[in-house]
Amino acid sequence: MARRGAPVDVVGVGRTFALGGGEVEALRGFDMHVPAGGFNALIGPSGCGKSTALRLVAGLDVPDEGTIDMDGASPDQMRRGRRIGVAFQDPSLLPWRTVSTNIRLALELVGRRHDTAAVSDLIELVGLQGFEKARPAQLSGGMRQRVAIARSLVTEPDLLLLDEPFGALDALTRQQLNDELQRIWTARGTTTILVTHSIPEAVYVADEVLVMSPRPGRVVAHHAIDFERPRTRELLLTDEFHAKVEAVSGSLHRSEGQVVRLEADDS
């Protein structure tokens, strides 16, 4: 296995946004620990601050309180050290670049423009051979997402952050990409945080699933997932898998229920 990534420690993070005239508290007391080379999935109700948490870890935003530490470095230092790879639900490819130049963009930005071998390795890894010269508009949604993942990996980051990268895809493509994501993660051993809406997806790919509360978001339940790797689609049919999905689903419902109770208390 390749080198391990950086561990991530998030302690007591809060983040509030000014919105219109008022304020929206997205996160409060958010804690998370991902070991080096670990794979965590973050799941929670819509608008619970999952994406905000990920953006904070990526150094794209700054927390109002709390600390985020990665092997002694802050997210901003990690970002400035170009040690992070990100992929969002929107693949955010440059429409005027081809598949291979889109992937190369990341290398250009870290000053390794001539590393053509890395680009072709990644194209192979995500299964896009033969499409090197295609432009994003000529690709299917799933293929575009592969390009985005390849771009996030090409710099060999110490931390891979995925914000619902497969959210807009159909179930079949999604499962296929989950398999590939798992394979890539096994090959690379990069610390990975995946934000997702899908409980089966989280249980299928991650070492640990963190369930978040509604806004202001914090982690309310941890589920360690210790199925053997490599996990295959047969796993999806086992009772153990279903039991895990049920357990996570239970925590998620309880967490959603909390708001209702809290609001009832308020009145």
Partner 1 sequence: MDRVPPRVLSAAVGLIVLALWELLARTVYAGSYRLSPPTAVVVDFFEFRDLYLRNLWHSTKTAAWGFLWGNLAAIALAGVASIIPVLRRSIGAIALTIFCLPFIAVAPILRLITGPGNGTPIALSALAVVFTTYVAALLGFDLAPGSALDVVRSYGRGRFAAFRRVRLRASVPAMIAGLQIAAPAAFLGAVVGEFTGARSGLGILTVRALGSLNTDRIWVIALLSTIVATGGYMAIGALGRYLCPWSPALDLGAVPTPRQEPGLVNRLVALLAPILVVFVFWYAFLWVFQIKPFFAKTPFDVWAELFTNADAAETRSSVFGALGTTLWTTSLGYVAGLVGAMVTAVVFILVPWLERSLMPLAVALRSIPIIVTTPVIILFVGRGLLTTTAIVAVMSFFPTLVNCYAAMRRTPEGILDVLKSYDARSVANVRNAYLPSAVPALLASARIAVPTSLLGATVAEWLATGDGIGAVMVIAFTRNDYNVLWVSVAVLTLVAVVGYWLVAAVELRALERMAPGVSR
Determine the residue type at 136: P
Q: Which of 24, 36, 110, 236 binds partner 1 (CB under 8 A)?
A: 110
Decide whether 81 or 250 has the Cβ nearer to partner 1: 81
206 lines the binding site for partner 1 (CB under 8 A): no
Binding mask 67-106 for partner 1 (x = CB under 8 A): ------------xxxx-xxx-x-xxxxxxx--------xx
Q: State in angstroms the smallest separation of the CB of 140 from partner 1.
A: 14
Q: State in angstroms the smallest separation of the CB of 112 from partner 1.
A: 11
Q: Which of 50, 104, 151, 231 binds partner 1 (CB under 8 A)?
A: 151
Contact 101, 120 (CB under 8 A): no
Neighbours of 166 (CB within 10 A): 26
- Residue 227, classified by CB atoms within 10 Å of its CB into exposed (0-12), middle (13-18) or buried (19+), is middle
For the chain, how big is the Rg over CA atoms in Å? 19
Q: Which of 17, 62, 67, 138 binds partner 1 (CB under 8 A)?
A: 138
131 lines the binding site for partner 1 (CB under 8 A): no
- Residue 36, classified by CB atoms within 10 Å of its CB into exposed (0-12), middle (13-18) or buried (19+), is middle
Decide whether 23 or 240 has the Cβ nearer to partner 1: 23
Closest by CA to 118, choosing from 139, 100, 97, is 100
Closest by CA to 91, choosing from 159, 154, 166, 160, is 166
Q: State in angstroms the smallest separation of the CB of 138 from partner 1.
A: 7
140 lines the binding site for partner 1 (CB under 8 A): no
Decide whether 44 or 91 has the Cβ nearer to partner 1: 91
Q: Which of 112, 135, 183, 197 binds partner 1 (CB under 8 A)?
A: 135
How many whole angstroms separate alpha carbon 244 and alpha carbon 204?
A: 10
Contact 89, 167 (CB under 8 A): yes
Phi-psi region of 184 (alpha: psi -120 to 50; beta: other; left: phi over 0): alpha
Contact 213, 25 (CB under 8 A): no
Query: Of the listed pieces 2-10, 33-41, 51-59, 237-245, which binds partner 1 according to CB under 8 A?
Result: 51-59
Number of residues that bind partner 1 (CB under 8 A): 29
- Chain residues in the site for partner 1 (CB under 8 A): 55, 58-60, 79-82, 84-86, 88, 90-96, 105-106, 108-110, 135, 137-138, 151, 155
